[in-house]
Amino acid sequence: MAPDQLRTQTLECIEDGEVLQITYEQVKQLCYQNPRFGFYFLQLTTRRLFENIASLERELAACKVASASPREVGASLSPS
């Protein structure tokens, strides 16, 4: 569903399985035909977006702590 229609994840299958594929047009048609599906899909993608944002914020915070001097870290940990 990426705007440039490129995949955002890679999957490695470690045992036998089935691969299913659906086109963007088929998803769009499903959303029109079944509004409950469309709303569920919207919630699903929005939840994933917010999870990704939270993950990036945690990584950024960890980088800031890792790059802070020991004096800065001690000051931020001391009680106010």
pLDDT by residue (tens digit) across 7-56? 777 888 899 988 888 888 999 999 999 999 999 999 999 999 999 999 99
Residue-wise pLDDT for 46-76, tens only, equals 999 999 999 999 999 988 888 876 665 555 5
Q: d(Cα 64, Cα 27) in Å, to the nearest integer?
A: 40
**DSSP state for residue 5 in the 8-state scheme:** -
How many CA atoms, within 13 angstroms, populate the side-chain half-sphere of residue 55? 6
> pTM (2 decimals)?
0.57
**What pLDDT, on the 0 to 100 scale, is given for residue 13?**
86
Q: d(Cα 77, Cα 30) in Å, to the nearest integer?
A: 52
